[in-house]
Structure 1
């Protein structure tokens, strides 16, 4: 290359000499050109056509490129980006042919390059081969799995240590608790031992006394110190009692060692014979190579005496009850016989003197009073028989509907005399069953008579039903009803809601009590639903035996 005149420069080439005129200007009408050469990593130029993978710790590198432009009026701009989604980065009038990238995050990349003259006349976009930066070790799957396994192992180890520590703590707490419980038990046992009213004795095989409590020493009238380490046989007034029971005693203790056993016996102590209740239990099997036995002695002499007095009192009460029943039976017979004569004679006179209205009126009062007295005597006799258990159940097989209709017929007449209607409803067709005819008649007479007595207007209804093997009877009236307070004591003897000289209704108050007892003898149930001024419903459920 030579400098000529007028600022001209001659440049030698393979094809000849080229002249450069420094004072002339030339505007290129085309676009610039950009060339991607390679990636330079740690001073090493890498193959530009190879897809590369860089470890995360080598995420900083240099890109070597060339950008050529011949437009002297406008600056050359170079554009580049690593992902198609990214915005272009611009280098204006670059002074270097290298791009530097540092601390790139892991992921996939492909470099794109292009050039322009101040945003005009863009070159073609040049791309590198795809390359990637690997994840850091701490984000790779194998490392995460290893870390998870490490954490799990660490958790198991910590859990194991914690459980061991906890177990030690629990064992310590349990030990402390057991020690505390042992101390409490010892204090309690000592308190029981010294304060118990029952005699307590610890023996070896039931033969040698280890120790006794003060109450036992008091029973045998000796001191505790005198009894320790002595022989049990020496406590009895005659040794045969001890030798007779000791072998069987030891067998029973060993057989029921966890439960113990109790027996009662008249014990011939040297201090005097006493009726005693004795409980014995095995405390320890290997105490000095033998069996340690605890025996509890309770003086039941007073209890036995009280029991005997109670038995005597019961016998006397039963005897008095028998006397009462016998007396009532005799008195009943003595009263009912002349009373039947009076009632029969009264009815006969009434039939003979029908036209004498004044006499009939007086005789009717005598007849009603006599019937009332007869019913009272009958009720007293019935309750006495029930209390004496002399009312035996006798079952007879009958057509129940037909038999009940027979019972109700005379009661219908009694209702009509008071201006009431007594209805009967049979919900089942005629059926055969076993009943005590006498008991059923007494029950229905009592309940329907009560319904008639306490009903001034309306009707009374008897409903008969059968459910499985039970006969259901329901007596419903529209009478005065019962208060809730009286319902609680309605079945007690001699109870009436209207009492005193001003009572509104006659009677002894025995009807419901007798009825309930008869129903109980038949293994049945009776219930009452009632309220004041709304009537009463009595329901019976009586089993029918096969």
Structure 2
């Protein structure tokens, strides 16, 4: 029989935990009110006589047997967790501390199970775990480097972004001192010291400094930090953001602004130039027309004036044509009109038209053409305008020497090259000479006629016809423009 001292009701009922006493067979001989309530029974009588296994999920009965075996060997095993089962079948988290009961002879006469419903505790633990996982996910998802330094300035907590930015492994980065990132950089060192002072004295600090990576590269960083107390100890916690891309964007923005300003300046200069270029031949035409109509003008002078008016008219027509062409190109309205073109006739026409320019400038004009005539399919009008623009520039900027037009057909393409011994192009202008509104050097070229659109139109037409143009030049020695067009040869 179980000693009545172990069944002291005052002890059973005073415990907030459930207490279940069984015999050696595991049958309940006594249960506290807390235990009765815990397992969903109404009174003690409903519990007494039941096997303790009734309170445990059937899947865990083997664990109970093992626990009883341990107790019989003299090892209670400490607290264990089970899946408890209430009388209505509801499961809950159950913690059990157990021990043997001995009679007055010291023999084991039964078992005592101290039960505790730990469902809320488990929920709290799971909630805490979830929160920790969420915080860890946020910790790693932050785009910047996160850091926590102890009061000695040693790194004790960081995220993966910290390793990526500094390029140190997890083992290498542990314990790094806050000042290690700014070695051999007195300016950044002083800035960081000031930021740390702000963090502890003012509650928040923010600075920009150069962080030194493992490979020695320094990158611009924006740091924020606060002094925090954790378990009575002071720490420096904060975030660092890489400013490299921002600096690059700012640099690009500055460059874009400068390009826009340059474009605006060039456009203004172009408009002033085009206004001058239009007014000059127009004034010449109007002025000489008055002289032609003057009755006192003799016939010889009148013929000279008519020639001048004709030249000025052609010049004005060329300028207007350039303006219309560039406008059409910029709006995407320009199209190619293909036809059969005899290279022999094309080059002969060009030679006759531009020979007069050569005579006026006192320079030689040479055309190297294929020995046999070749008929190609291309846009004759655009091809003439391209070659014309290149030759016009060659004669315009050449005071002595020659202007050369070379033409040959090979590999399904027709290749043209316009070469001169003129003033050439400065290196700083080579990459911009095909841009609209650019004429080599706006100030330098004020001594030369022209709208500045010729090369832009030439390049655009060549691209439209499926070709490409290249330029080689040396300032003071001359220029060479070459382009190739894909053609169908008949």
Give the TM interval when normalised to the shorter protein.
0.3 to 0.5
User: Normalized per residue, which structure has more helix?
Assistant: 2
Report the TM-score when normalising by structure 2: 0.40
- The structure that has the greater radius of gyration is 1
Report the TM-score when normalising by structure 1: 0.36
